[in-house]
Amino acid sequence: MKGLSRLKPAAAIKTQLVVAALLWSAIGIFLVVRGLLLFEVVTPWPLVVAVAVGLVKSRLVLDRTAQKNLARILAREEGSCIGGVYSWRMWGFIVLMMLLGRLLRASGLAGWIVGMVYVAVGSALFRSSRLLWRQWRLTATS
């Protein structure tokens, strides 16, 4: 077992923070762009509603999740495995969300409705990533 530990992708806390922040931001941006590509509606109101829902979701749900993620990372030892930046439960949740996204696209719902969901979730992820970026900045300067 000791020989296998040499193969783990170890990372400093600062690196784990930037990886978590990049994942939240990149996935958020990806979902917003993907959602915008599905919009067929001429009026901007569905987009405005989707972003507003995303901001509320960020505030009520994802900020708490980001804080838990931060606490997990900060409690880890320097040089811990980078894959442990999220718990097994969180990795399972990520896979579940990916599957739900595939089901949503295959559901036959109008593109603008699927786009609204993508924009809402993506904007929530992107907004909540600010907490991870803030901690990374604090860690990087200390």
How do residues 65-121 score in pLDDT, each as one tens digit?
999 999 999 999 888 888 888 888 989 999 999 999 999 999 999 999 999 999 999
Confidence band for 137, pLDDT divided at 50, 70 and 90: very high
For residue 33, tell me if it sits in a domain: yes
CA distances (Å), origin 22, targets 7, 26, 30, 132: 24, 6, 12, 9
Three-state SS for 10?
A: strand
Secondary element (H or E) of residue 81: strand 80-81
Pair 112, 43: CB distance under 8 Å = no
What pLDDT is attached to residue 5? 64
Confidence band for 4, pLDDT divided at 50, 70 and 90: low
For residue 3, tell me if it sits in a domain: no
In sign, the C-alpha dihedral spanning 60, 101, 52, 85 is positive
CB 28: neighbour CB atoms within 10 A? Answer: 22
For residue 4, tell me if it sits in a domain: no
Across 17-42, average pLDDT: 92
For residue 17, tell me if it sits in a domain: yes
For residue 1, tell me if it sits in a domain: no
Confidence band for 39, pLDDT divided at 50, 70 and 90: confident
Q: Percentage of residues in the chain with pLDDT exceeding 90?
A: 69
Across 14-26, average pLDDT: 94
Q: Give the total number of structural domains in the chain.
A: 1
Q: Which residue range(s) make up the domain with 137?
A: 10-141
What pLDDT is attached to residue 68? 94
For residue 5, tell me if it sits in a domain: no
Distance CA 102, CA 116 (A): 15
pTM over 0.75? The answer is yes
